Copies of this chain bind each other. A is one copy, B any other.
Amino acid sequence: MSPMTDKEAMLLAISEAKKGIGFVSPNPPVGCVILDKDRNFLASGYHQKLGSDHAELDALKKIKDTEELKGAHVYVTLEPCAHEGRTPSCAKALAQLPISSVVYGLKDPNPLVAGKGLQILLDAAIEVKCIEGLNLELENLAECFLLNMRESKCFIALKVASSIDGQIAMSSGESQWITSSRAREYSHDLRGMYDATAVGFGTYLKDNPSLNIRHGKFQNKKNHKVVLFDQEAESLKSIENSNLYQSNQKQNIHIVVDSKHKNIENILGLNILFCDFNNGYQDLHQQLFQHEIYSLYIEGGAKVLSKFISQKAFNTLYLFVGSKVLGKGLSWTKDLEFSSLSETLDLKLSQHEILDNDIMLKYNI
């Protein structure tokens, strides 16, 4: 075992934190790593699910002999909390230990408590510092939570599966499959990392999707929600026969319809959200937030994607590029038009993942 640098310890804490994504919303995913006085690894932990231990306590519980904590260094991706909530204050718990330093990733984004956890540590004569050089990784890790806290809005992720030449289907509509089973499995897992999965009415009609989580690491996730974008409220007439209705609990189904249908009859008592489909998606983000949908994964089709893109009303885009060249087909931005190159949307490539011959590209707005 060799001593770890600050950066190595924080990167490990980040990868620990990631294990909690999908299970902790609306909390942030948080990871923690503890090194002994000589900077050798002692323990790691993470916030595993809503209501369970925070990352710091999860890591501390793995240390049997508190002697080991003398002069220890604690790395945590987010400022230790100052307040007592579902769990005791982490800052207070750390302040009682003989540790020498706490290195944190991001300050608490809640201005009312930001810095309070750090102050508790400083008052206990513990050295406190912010990690340098990992801000991007840390912001990406907690991107949903940060947006939730900063803007009281739902975090919107778009997902596209295209061919090498940007097509999502043949001219005939044939699209099974553009990407590999491994890429589709990866995308299925992404559903679980968000509070809800969404599609547009066209996809609902064509694919009759259930939108729930059927396999993979989020299979046992509870209360995953689904959202249907149905501008003209056409689905309400016969939704009882759909896989979407039959595969999800009623309270988890949300239909977004255009504001002009405000007086529509809601016999089934589903969650119905109203918004202006042409210009009201920013407002929709707040409504979703109020419905406790803090993050949303939109899987298509082209029409819904184009609307979110043209209104710049999304936060991240997952593009799965399969290994086929399709030729003339259906582009996922066929409904999107810009007047000149300078008007187009410029994104930031924030992550990529090779999946055999496919690749996942994650872009932030």
Contact = CB atoms under 8 A, between A and B. Distances in A.
Interface of A: 162-167, 170-172, 174-178, 306, 309-310, 317, 319, 321, 323-328, 331-338, 340-341, 344-349, 352, 354, 356-359, 361, 363
Nearest to A178: B341
Nearest to A328: B337
A172 B339 CA distance: 9
Contacts of A348: 323, 357
A359 B352 contact: yes
B338 A165 contact: no
A341 B174 contact: yes
Q: How many copies does the complex hold?
A: 2
A360 to B, nearest CB: 11
A338 B327 contact: yes
A202 B90 CA distance: 66
A345 B333 contact: no
A301 to B, nearest CB: 14
A72 to B, nearest CB: 30
Given A338-B326, A363-B323, A164 B331 contact: no
Given A167-B166, A323-B349, A331 B328 contact: yes
A335 B364 CA distance: 32
Given A349-B323, A359-B352, A165 B332 contact: yes
A333 B103 CA distance: 51
Given A319-B164, A341-B324, A352 B349 contact: no
A29 B321 CA distance: 31
A344 B319 contact: no
Q: In the complex, which of the residues A337, A338, A341, A354 has the most CB atoms of chain B within 10 Å of its own CB atom?
A: A341
B363 A361 contact: no
Q: In the complex, which of the residues A167, A333, A359 has the most CB atoms of chain B within 10 Å of its own CB atom?
A: A333
Contacts of A171: 337
B309 A325 contact: yes
A190 to B, nearest CB: 18
14 contacts: A163-B166, A164-B317, A165-B331, A170-B338, A170-B340, A170-B344, A172-B340, A309-B327, A323-B348, A324-B341, A328-B331, A328-B335, A347-B357, A359-B361
Contacts of A332: 165
